[in-house]
Chain A
């Protein structure tokens, strides 16, 4: 862990920062340079949603990666990627509300209530709100590792809703939703089929407990 520590500070975290932040200015630049095609609003909506799902899936990949590598410090990247997913989802929702519908609340409310894929997208977002709000180390300490972990299991419901949202948002060619969903399914399957955590007789915490990183 001591050897890995400098790596986190010097490389992994800056790289992740670049990864989660840079797509935004790139999209804005593409928009300004008219590189987003004939319907740039639709394109922005789709691309922002895809980035959100990538980071959400990325946050789910941390635990398996941590198990494979035994790099306990990775746990902090999990919350980082989760927050990135939350903010990209917020951006995605803002594009939907402001650019796509321009605060046409009648239509938006109807859309959320009547169209299942929008309902699921909204659900995916709403489930992420308590997770984003409790993403600080102080929250982990306040809730305690076990309760915090239980609360953050909501991410599984959120990512499933997000995948279904993606499936139904696509008219016919579901190749991309399938790719993402298979990836997410593998990451979720890891949780279902992993061997039970060996606990020392005194009753230790699971290796991926956020408290380990706190």
Chain B
């Protein structure tokens, strides 16, 4: 994909496989939305999959003031306050492991000239609340192709910055720092998987994971590792932070699944931030058409 200005193109050309819907098209005319829904079951809003439940973009104020980012405090309101002096730039991402040339990449070197995508995705937290967030970023597959992993790479592991001086939440051992997450290679290469660099048309706010975070909309929000400084390719399933912290509650896959409860609470329903009544949670957060095939034959109760 070499589309530099996706907004100049009809959405049918940006989304040849109907994998996502351009945000402007989404918030554009009702006709475009209807057309998009008919022609390309959109990742944003496949109406047939939401049981008629509407997906409105969450107010920016809510998405930037209600954050699970324990590196800046465990209260949801803390990251906004405690991250306000964080300076994300300059930023370096180390690429290592099973890759042609393991080395550090400057931020621009890793992302420069890759097509910037507008993706409005549902975000379902494992705590049973959800948002709809317009992200900007690059497809992770584009980055992976750029850094050239070896064919033996089966998984990719991500690591958050560890710097208690800049991330005060890391001074308490609430989680085993640094935060790590991982994806199977096919999940990482999936066109829905995004490295977000912005949201709401602005650079990614510190409290949302500046300058670079993962977005996997069919998985629970904790998979969306923030402030990434390391990408490691490996042939073994990497450890992930929440799984390490509590293996019976948080799995490696963490696919949104209303049929598999968290041991302590139900995952059948969720509260969309800004709404009163809970809505039904959808399998794979409504992206089943796009991603369910990745897990065919797997027991999703076992691989939660």
A and B found bound together: yes
Instruction: Give the shortest distance, in Å, between B208 (CB) and chain A (any CB).
Output: 13
Docked complex Cα distance between A115 and B264 (Å) = 5
Query: Across the two chains, which residue of chain B brings its CB closest to A102?
Result: B277
Instruction: Give the shortest distance, in Å, between A46 (CB) and chain B (any CB).
Output: 10
Report whether B127 and A37 are in contact in the complex, using a CB–CB cutoff of 8 Å: no
Report whether B245 and A172 are in contact in the complex, using a CB–CB cutoff of 8 Å: yes
Q: A168 interface residue, CB < 8 Å from B?
A: yes
Contact of B266 among A39, A41, A102, A107 (CB under 8 A): A107
Docked complex Cα distance between A169 and B278 (Å) = 19
Q: Which of B260-304 contact A (CB under 8 A)?
A: 261, 264-266, 268-269, 271, 273-274, 276-278
Query: Across the two chains, which residue of chain A brings its CB closest to B131?
Result: A38
Docked complex Cα distance between A107 and B248 (Å) = 23
Instruction: Give the shortest distance, in Å, between B69 (CB) and chain A (any CB).
Output: 13
Q: B62 interface residue, CB < 8 Å from A?
A: yes
Report whether B264 and A37 are in contact in the complex, using a CB–CB cutoff of 8 Å: no
Given contact pairs A38-B62, A39-B66, A172 touches B266 in the complex (Cβ within 8 A): no
Q: Which of A130-152 contact B (CB under 8 A)?
A: none
Question: B76: which A residues are within 8 A, CB to CB?
Answer: 37-39
Question: A114: which B residues are within 8 A, CB to CB?
Answer: 261, 266
Instruction: Give the shortest distance, in Å, between A167 (CB) and chain B (any CB).
Output: 10
Report whether B246 and A38 are in contact in the complex, using a CB–CB cutoff of 8 Å: no
Question: B274: which A residues are within 8 A, CB to CB?
Answer: 38
Report whether B266 and A38 are in contact in the complex, using a CB–CB cutoff of 8 Å: no
Docked complex Cα distance between A101 and B127 (Å) = 15
Report whether B273 and A38 are in contact in the complex, using a CB–CB cutoff of 8 Å: yes
Report whether A173 and B74 are in contact in the complex, using a CB–CB cutoff of 8 Å: yes
Question: B266: which A residues are within 8 A, CB to CB?
Answer: 107, 110-111, 114-115
Question: A99: which B residues are within 8 A, CB to CB?
Answer: 276
The number of chain B residues with a CB under 8 A from chain A is 27
Q: Which of A24-76 contact B (CB under 8 A)?
A: 37-39, 41-42
Report whether A172 and B175 are in contact in the complex, using a CB–CB cutoff of 8 Å: yes
Contact of B246 among A100, A116, A172 (CB under 8 A): A172
Q: Mark B75-86, 1 if CB is under 8 A from A, else 0.
A: 011000000000
Docked complex Cα distance between A39 and B272 (Å) = 9
Report whether A107 and B66 are in contact in the complex, using a CB–CB cutoff of 8 Å: no
Given contact pairs A101-B278, A102-B276, A173-B174, A38 touches B65 in the complex (Cβ within 8 A): yes
Q: B129 interface residue, CB < 8 Å from A?
A: yes
Question: B268: which A residues are within 8 A, CB to CB?
Answer: 107
Question: B269: which A residues are within 8 A, CB to CB?
Answer: 104, 107
What is the interface of chain B mostly: helix, strand, loop, or mixed?
Answer: loop
Question: A10: which B residues are within 8 A, CB to CB?
Answer: none
**Which of the four size classes fits the interface of chain A?**
20 to 34
Q: A117 interface residue, CB < 8 Å from B?
A: yes
Q: Which of B32-77 contact A (CB under 8 A)?
A: 61-63, 65-66, 70, 74, 76-77
Report whether B174 and A41 are in contact in the complex, using a CB–CB cutoff of 8 Å: no
Query: Across the two chains, which residue of chain A brings its CB closest to B68?
Result: A171
Report whether A37 and B129 are in contact in the complex, using a CB–CB cutoff of 8 Å: no
Query: Across the two chains, which residue of chain A brings its CB closest to B77?
Result: A37
Docked complex Cα distance between A110 and B266 (Å) = 9
Report whether B264 and A39 are in contact in the complex, using a CB–CB cutoff of 8 Å: no
Q: Mark A68-110, 1 if CB is under 8 A from B, else 0.
A: 0000000000000000000000000000000111101001001
Docked complex Cα distance between A169 and B262 (Å) = 12
Given contact pairs A107-B268, A172-B175, A172-B246, A39 touches B129 in the complex (Cβ within 8 A): yes
Docked complex Cα distance between A42 and B77 (Å) = 13
Q: Mark A165-182, 1 if CB is under 8 A from B, else 0.
A: 000110111010000000
Question: A111: which B residues are within 8 A, CB to CB?
Answer: 265-266
Query: Across the two chains, which residue of chain B brings its CB closest to A171?
Result: B127
Report whether A168 and B264 are in contact in the complex, using a CB–CB cutoff of 8 Å: yes
Question: A39: which B residues are within 8 A, CB to CB?
Answer: 66, 76, 129, 271, 273
Given contact pairs A111-B266, A168-B264, A38 touches B66 in the complex (Cβ within 8 A): yes
Question: B276: which A residues are within 8 A, CB to CB?
Answer: 41, 99, 102
Contact of B174 among A102, A116, A117, A172 (CB under 8 A): A172
Interface CB pairs A-B, < 8 A, 25: A37-B65, A37-B76, A38-B63, A38-B65, A38-B66, A38-B273, A39-B66, A39-B76, A39-B129, A41-B276, A102-B276, A102-B277, A104-B278, A110-B266, A111-B266, A114-B261, A115-B265, A115-B266, A117-B265, A118-B265, A169-B264, A171-B127, A172-B70, A172-B245, A172-B246
Contacts A38-B76, A102-B276, A107-B278 aside, 11 further interface pairs with beta carbons under 8 A come to: A39-B271, A41-B271, A41-B276, A42-B271, A110-B266, A111-B266, A114-B266, A115-B265, A172-B174, A172-B175, A175-B74
10 smallest beta-carbon distances between A and B, as pairs: A38-B66, A173-B74, A38-B62, A38-B273, A173-B174, A168-B264, A117-B264, A115-B265, A39-B129, A102-B277
